[in-house]
Structure 1
Amino acid sequence: MRKLLPKWVAFGVGVSLAAAASAQTGPSHAPDIMFHDGFEGVAAGPFSDADAARFLAQATFGPTDADIHHLRAIGYQAWLAEQFAATPTLEMSYLNWIGTTLHEQIGQNNRQEAWFLGALGGPDPQNNNIVHTDQLRQRMAFALSEIMVVSDQNTTLNGFAPGVAYYYDILASNAFGNYRTLLEQVTKSPAMGVYLNMMGNQRANAALNIHPDENYAREINQLFSIGLVMLNPDGTVKLSGSGQPIPTYTQSTVSAFAHVFTGWNWADCDANGSDNFNGCGPDYTTGANFLTPMVAFDTTNPLYPAISPSYHDNGTRLPDDISNKQLLSYPGAASGGVLANGGTAQSDLSFALDNVYNHPNVAPFISKQLIQRLVTSNPSPAYVQRVATVFNNNRQSQNQLQSVAQAILLDPESRNGQWQSPDTFGKLREPLLRLTHLWRAMGARHACGQNLPASGTTAAINYANQPYRYGGNAWNTADTQYGSGVAQASLDALTVFNFFKPSFLPPGEMVTRGLLGPEFQINTDSIISNSSNAFENYALNSDIADACGSTDQFGDVKINSAQDFALAGSGSGGAADPSDRLVDAYSTRFMSGQMSPFMRQTLISYLNVIDSTWANGGDWRQERIKRALYLIHTSPEYVIQK
């Protein structure tokens, strides 16, 4: 008879683990740092399976045993070279297949499937011989998507899934590229143009009460590049002579940028003498104009000056235009940051983006956020400065972010910080990354979908025959109410400020100590409860071996617990057939070998109770595996990535 795990057991274990962790004076299993890397330097590693798993927790969407063994075999440098050379996984390729081959009506659910294909990796559903391996590129793209935010919460974007996918592909394609190039492609992207109102932004016209929208002008500075206050090269706040933070820009700066960002619209707007900014909008038939960068409409047709005006403010139509616009002013800024009159929409945009990109804040501001997304919420100033230096040294390189990613991951602090600063190093794992970790590590695949005719056609939606589509429960990860989600999904944040702010200070001891905890902003009481229930479903109630329901049309992503049966036991279970091999394997795979002795013994003692009487018509070892997964994934020791 199957014995269900009561909710209080999980929460009780969590409380006990937290108490035990706080009682420890330091890691009980930390090596002597002097001898850990054999005098070869951290970049020569990994030197153990635990080292490999920890690196992969930072650089991928979750380590698998195969990944750990491969990394051990080739080393960090060769692994990074493989990742930089791997073919990019692009969402539009997947959506094109969904639409043209399967004849499905493409929606945001399909876009989430495409995202999971990149995040989880593995065979392509179009051709299983094509295997997606670009984990680091996808992890960098996800990090960038939480800095340069667009969201399908926007009503217009929600109706155009390919437009959102096209935007994500910009991030993925440039994840190892140049940040200045990325800034321009993001600025011209239709999704960003719609989301932050640059699309159709016109030069001022007082007679018609038209004023340039300031939304994108503000956010490209505040969120995408320099932040609100001046920074030192190490990311710390630069203070004035009176000891106050120094603002990076003023309202007049925002207004000047807003006037620069005028004259851009859909690429298929009419340019043949009619009013280009009226009757222009998203193509509700095909959505195709979401897949082409915005273009400038800034040249008046001399034959029809009244009906073909230039919509770009180049400073020449006074008094509505801003003459000689003062953009960001800083030492070394070209022309002192003053944009001269008479330029085109493109030349003025180029000047403005150069003005932003060359600001001294960009390197520490972006470098620190990338460190936070991959490694630790509170990097030391020295760590930030080392990465920012790499950013600056590669400003002209087309592989700038590739160098930055390598610097972040091979920095001594990223490799040894858990021992150097055990009570401050690390980060709360994002809910979505906890899910991808579980699914990758447990060989999850889509199962139980049925073949259904696509709307209006006789074609079949081959869910049952497509184990790599990642539908069903993968569509609902953003849910926050019904126990089926984890309050997070790709490009689904409620605001341009992402799911959480990089500067968030959790109340209590972390405020007192000045420790940042960005992900804690999404870790509310209700979301903790909901995500715990969701992980119960993912870990306890969704296995490839389970029978499919006759009414389950779309199926779910399900784990493959059978892959770990040999670890879970070899006899009839119980104390005579202990669970220590399973617990130790999961300590490496999920916790980088950092499971405390207390947690290890607590899990083993609990799991040893499970024996063949728990079979419930299946294999009793499945019960050990599922309960181990649930208790680990809801434990305080796991949710803090060290």
Structure 2
Amino acid sequence: MKNFILCVTALLCFRVSYAQTNKTFGKGNIKGVTVNASSNASNGIKTLMSTGYMPNSKASSRFLSQATLGPKLSEIQGLQNQGIEAWLDQQFAMSPSFNLQNYVQNMHQSMVDSLTARNPTGNYTLSNVFIDDWAFDVAWFQANMVAADRLRWRVSLALSQIFVTSRISAFDDNPYALASYYDMLNKNAFGNYRSLIDSITYHPAMAVYLTYMNNHATDTLAISASNPTKKQVFPDENYAREILQLFSIGLFELNNNGTEKKDANGKSIPTYDNDDIGNLAKVFTGLSWSHSRYLGDNNNVTKWSYTKPLKFFPRDSSDKYIRWWANPTSWRIVNGHEPGTKTFLNQTVPSRPVTDGKLDIKDALDIIFNHPNVGPFMARRLIQHLVSSNPTPEFVDRIATVFNNNGAGVRGDLKAVIRAILLDPEARDCCAEKENVAYGHLREPFLRYMNLVNGLELRNQSGTYRNVMVDLYDRIEQKPLYSPSVFNFYQPGYVPDGPLQAAGKVGPEFQMLNSLSFANYMNGLHKWIISNDPVEYWGIFSGEVYKPDQDPNFNISADYVLAKDNRIREFLDKYNLILAQGRIKPENMSIIQNVLLNMPMTYDVNGVPDATLADRRLRMGIFLIMIAPDYLINK
């Protein structure tokens, strides 16, 4: 061990102890190094980490591109003065600021009120006036235009693509189901993973989507000569399979750094088998709608049935509602919840009375929660969504360690996990891209759209933003809670052809990229930017008067002065910073600049650019930035 004194300024000295004879300081290289500040401060080590310094404009934009749905110039400038850790503290201290379910219901009530005003004898109510699932999209977009808890909404979007439920093939266009589920994600985004999977398990949207609503115990009625056609019915296994494969532990046993464990023959070790699934499926039995009178009672399911946690039924019928089986002289009550022990993942949920079946669910979720795979599994998934598709094993290991113990003995603390991801040297190191060609990720289409909305600071006069996002989905095939399957819009292990495949790396978002999807994206950009038509405004009831103050567009008139030939690079630098975090290469910037300089431009006698020509030139500049390869790959 060697020691030396490192004097940074005349007023601040550090004693650095290191375990190697050669050490590169900075860029997060702190292994084997301790730093004690002369003031006896405990965080002297931050002097060797990027988190120890106030971010410059590019570092601010880069951080916000990971922590929000797209930075605004004012946020970039504010973060330079506030600092990343202070910003995180502020964001984590905020409670959920927008309730989607309430907003949907208020829209619904306005439909009822408007219809009643036009026809007072119509007897319109929330129950008999239909509202479509686009109301959820309007609410979601409104929230993201006004909510201050920007980190929460970024994390919730990631969670919605991990714990997938989707309106495709489910919910009958019910916006309350979607709003309630997303509100639940927002509530749990900075909470504990154990509480999150509990809330997900008891949410009707998940129960309907993964088909364990009214899931009942094994029907063991024997086949006999008097009942030859009777078939045994086993608990539905859909949720049991997906909670293991997609929501918690994955297919193979993992080391803490996310790499797969191998057996003596060098083969990956499965985490579970069909017997595990079958036994776990027995746990998730006896759950139904909150208003049900008995298991299997699907009467009177309303829009609001999706907004309350599931109700547990140990039996599938009451004395009043008895299920009839095969023989009109034979009546019986069948268990709603599976009795007996349930063994999975080499652990056993004990046998107990079916009336205590909710304890079975609790025990099963505890077993899943405490499985050693959960830390590295969730660490990798969240890093992939927020920072990079191919985090190093060291990065995964650091985050999984925080998941396992937040420093205060708490397992599953998502707030600590998110903080650790965003502050990790691998996330904050601006030079990582130069050392790792697979660093970063392809921006998924919906994030590009929100990046544009935030970067150009979409505004209208009213502060109400009614974007149904129907045309948006048709163009980019992505919006919240509209995944084509439980496997999300793209799979975390997807490997595209080309250099990533050759390097043994993954590129999840590339699963959505092809010549047609990119052409559709460019056509969308033309509509949003060039034609200045960034949202799709619909009336919420027949005959509603158009409200132009609720139909926003991009006003870039303040930038017209930058359309001059001698200032166009200044304009491009500004939006390179906001949209692309300053990553557009000089040669690509020169190409874009030359395109713009070849567009017609005239000036008045005072040298002021013509507004129409300036507007066209600047919008084309933004368009070209957002199709540049350097923009599309966020590093």
Tell me, yes or no, whether TM beats 0.5: yes
**Structure 2 counterpart of 1:475, from 470, 473, 487:** 470
In structure 1, what is the equivalent of residue 509 of structure 2? 519
Following TM superposition, by how much is the alpha carbon of 1:34 offset from its aligned partner in structure 2, in angstroms? 8.3
| Residues 355-364 or 551-560, more deviating | 551-560
| Residues 83-92 or 39-48, more deviating | 39-48
Following TM superposition, by how much is the alpha carbon of 1:91 offset from its aligned partner in structure 2, in angstroms? 1.1
Following TM superposition, by how much is the alpha carbon of 1:425 offset from its aligned partner in structure 2, in angstroms? 0.7
Which residue type is aligned with residue 41 of structure 1?
M
Structure 1 CA distance for aligned equivalents of residues 89 and 153 of structure 2: 15
In structure 1, what is the equivalent of residue 72 of structure 2? 64
| Correspondence 1:596 to 2:563 | no
| Correspondence 1:626 to 2:605 | no
| Correspondence 1:283 to 2:283 | no
Q: Work out whether residues 542 and 557 of structure 1, in 8 Å CA contact, stay in contact via their aligned partners in 2.
A: no
In structure 2, what is the equivalent of residue 80 of structure 1? 88
Residue 477 of structure 1 aligns to a residue whose secondary structure is: helix
Q: Work out whether residues 184 and 199 of structure 2, in 8 Å CA contact, stay in contact via their aligned partners in 1.
A: yes
Residue 326 of structure 1 aligns to a residue whose secondary structure is: strand
**Structure 1 counterpart of 2:420, from 391, 399, 407:** 407
Q: Deviations over 1:485-540 (max 9, x none)?
A: 21101000110000000010011221121111000001122111111111111111
Following TM superposition, by how much is the alpha carbon of 1:160 offset from its aligned partner in structure 2, in angstroms? 1.2
**Structure 1 counterpart of 2:176, from 162, 170, 175:** 162
In structure 2, what is the equivalent of residue 226 of structure 1? 249
Q: Work out whether residues 201 and 263 of structure 1, in 8 Å CA contact, stay in contact via their aligned partners in 2.
A: yes
Q: Work out whether residues 499 and 522 of structure 1, in 8 Å CA contact, stay in contact via their aligned partners in 2.
A: yes
| Correspondence 1:108 to 2:133 | yes
432 and 148 in structure 1: CA distance in 2 versus 1, 3 angstrom threshold? same
Structure 2 CA distance for aligned equivalents of residues 408 and 153 of structure 1: 32
Aligned 1:344-423 pairs, distance under 5 A: 344-394=356-406, 397=410, 400-416=413-429, 418-419=432-433, 421-423=435-437
Q: Work out whether residues 26 and 50 of structure 2, in 8 Å CA contact, stay in contact via their aligned partners in 1.
A: no
161 and 174 in structure 1: CA distance in 2 versus 1, 3 angstrom threshold? same
Which residue type is aligned with residue 339 of structure 1?
P
| Correspondence 1:193 to 2:210 | no
158 and 139 in structure 1: CA distance in 2 versus 1, 3 angstrom threshold? farther
| Residues 305-314 or 358-367, more deviating | 305-314
631 and 282 in structure 1: CA distance in 2 versus 1, 3 angstrom threshold? farther
In structure 1, what is the equivalent of residue 479 of structure 2? 489
Residue 501 of structure 1 aligns to a residue whose secondary structure is: coil
Gaps of 5+ in 2: 1-24, 30-44, 115-129, 222-229, 324-331, 535-543
- Which structure: larger Rg? 2
Structure 2 CA distance for aligned equivalents of residues 171 and 134 of structure 1: 14
365 and 49 in structure 1: CA distance in 2 versus 1, 3 angstrom threshold? same
| Residues 516-525 or 415-424, more deviating | 415-424
Structure 1 CA distance for aligned equivalents of residues 629 and 76 of structure 2: 23
Following TM superposition, by how much is the alpha carbon of 1:277 offset from its aligned partner in structure 2, in angstroms? 3.1
| Correspondence 1:312 to 2:328 | no
Residue 84 of structure 1 aligns to a residue whose secondary structure is: helix
Q: Work out whether residues 578 and 608 of structure 1, in 8 Å CA contact, stay in contact via their aligned partners in 2.
A: no
In structure 2, what is the equivalent of residue 153 of structure 1? 168
Following TM superposition, by how much is the alpha carbon of 1:621 offset from its aligned partner in structure 2, in angstroms? 1.8
Q: Deviations over 1:469-494 (max 9, x none)?
A: 2425x333221xxxxx2110100011
Which residue type is aligned with residue 505 of structure 1?
V
| Correspondence 1:50 to 2:45 | no
In structure 2, what is the equivalent of residue 449 of structure 1? none
Which residue type is aligned with residue 626 of structure 2?
H
In structure 2, what is the equivalent of residue 438 of structure 1? 452
TM-score using structure 1 length: 0.80
In structure 2, what is the equivalent of residue 561 of structure 1? 556
Residue 437 of structure 1 aligns to a residue whose secondary structure is: helix
Following TM superposition, by how much is the alpha carbon of 1:41 offset from its aligned partner in structure 2, in angstroms? 2.2
In structure 1, what is the equivalent of residue 126 of structure 2? none
Identity of matched residues, %: 32
Q: Work out whether residues 296 and 346 of structure 1, in 8 Å CA contact, stay in contact via their aligned partners in 2.
A: yes
Following TM superposition, by how much is the alpha carbon of 1:371 offset from its aligned partner in structure 2, in angstroms? 0.3
Structure 2 CA distance for aligned equivalents of residues 403 and 582 of structure 1: 38
Gaps of 5+ in 1: 1-30, 123-131, 271-275, 316-322, 330-335, 447-464, 480-484, 545-550
Following TM superposition, by how much is the alpha carbon of 1:341 offset from its aligned partner in structure 2, in angstroms? 4.1
397 and 244 in structure 1: CA distance in 2 versus 1, 3 angstrom threshold? same
| Correspondence 1:579 to 2:568 | yes
Larger RCO (alpha carbons 8 Å, 6+ apart):
1
Q: Work out whether residues 117 and 468 of structure 1, in 8 Å CA contact, stay in contact via their aligned partners in 2.
A: yes
Structure 2 CA distance for aligned equivalents of residues 294 and 563 of structure 1: 53
In structure 1, what is the equivalent of residue 308 of structure 2? 292
Structure 2 CA distance for aligned equivalents of residues 77 and 304 of structure 1: 60
**Structure 1 counterpart of 2:344, from 327, 344, 350:** 327
**Structure 2 counterpart of 1:133, from 126, 129, 148:** 148
Which residue type is aligned with residue 312 of structure 1?
G
614 and 438 in structure 1: CA distance in 2 versus 1, 3 angstrom threshold? farther
Q: Work out whether residues 47 and 53 of structure 2, in 8 Å CA contact, stay in contact via their aligned partners in 1.
A: no
Q: Work out whether residues 556 and 615 of structure 2, in 8 Å CA contact, stay in contact via their aligned partners in 1.
A: yes
Q: Deviations over 1:227-277 (max 9, x none)?
A: 00111000011111110000000001100011111000001011xxxxx23
Structure 2 CA distance for aligned equivalents of residues 590 and 524 of structure 1: 22
Structure 1 CA distance for aligned equivalents of residues 249 and 103 of structure 2: 35
TM-score using structure 2 length: 0.80
Which residue type is aligned with residue 211 of structure 1?
F
In structure 2, what is the equivalent of residue 450 of structure 1? none
Structure 2 CA distance for aligned equivalents of residues 306 and 602 of structure 1: 75
Which residue type is aligned with residue 421 of structure 1?
E
Structure 2 CA distance for aligned equivalents of residues 170 and 498 of structure 1: 19
Q: Deviations over 1:207-240 (max 9, x none)?
A: 3532211110100000000000111000011111
Following TM superposition, by how much is the alpha carbon of 1:410 offset from its aligned partner in structure 2, in angstroms? 0.3
Matched pairs, number: 546
Structure 2 CA distance for aligned equivalents of residues 614 and 525 of structure 1: 40
**Structure 1 counterpart of 2:234, from 211, 225, 235:** 211
